[in-house]
Amino acid sequence: GAVVSQHPSWVICKSGTSVKIECRSLDFQATTMFWYRQFPKQSLMLMATSNEGSKATYEQGVEKDKFLINHASLTLSTLTVTSAHPEDSSFYICSARDRLQETQYFGPGTRLLVL
């Protein structure tokens, strides 16, 4: 099946720093990528939809200035958590949609811990 990678797989940073997470579709082109956040023992919450070549669409309650999304190519989307705070600590998961199959393929996730 299609493969989506995320980098880094985990990151620990100090409060106030910015963290960039990359999401790549390795063997298919993804015009749309999604970013989710998952807190412990909770479901996945969609943060934003990333479309190649256009601005991301954010879900209600998600600060677009804090969570910067860039979808620079058909295989790469990045999420930057700016001025991270401890409450941003979470598991961030991206997915890429293969439009031909209407299936989302998920990355392995990135665990962020902000001290």
Partner 1 sequence: AQKVTQAQTEISVVEKEDVTLDCVYETRDTTYYLFWYKQPPSGELVFLIRRNSFDEQNEISGRYSWNFQKSTSSFNFTITASQVVDSAVYFCALSAVWTNAGKSTFGDGTTLTVKP
Instruction: Summarize as ranges the residues that interact with partner 1 (CB under 8 A).
Output: 1, 32, 34, 42-44, 46, 49, 57, 91, 93, 95, 97, 101-106, 108-109, 111
Q: Are 37 and 95 in contact (CB under 8 A)?
A: no
The dihedral sign for the CA sequence 105, 37, 12, 17: positive
CB of 84 to partner 1, least distance (A): 19
Least CB distance to partner 1 at residue 102 (A) = 6
We find the least distance from the C-beta atom of residue 93 to partner 1, in angstroms, to be 7
The backbone torsions φ and ψ at residue 86, rounded to the nearest 5 degrees and listed phi first, read -55, -35
Least Å distance, CB 104 to partner 1, is 6
Choose between 14 and 54: whose C-beta lies nearer to partner 1.
54
Nearer Cβ to partner 1 (78/95): 95
Token pair belonging to 96: 């890429």
Closer residue to partner 1 in complex, CB, 13/46: 46
Judged by CB, which is closer to partner 1: 93, or 114? 93
**What are residue 57's phi and psi, to 5 degrees?**
-105, 120
User: Which residues are within 8 A (CB) of 7 and not within 5 positions of it... i.e. 6 or more apart?
Assistant: 21, 22, 24, 110
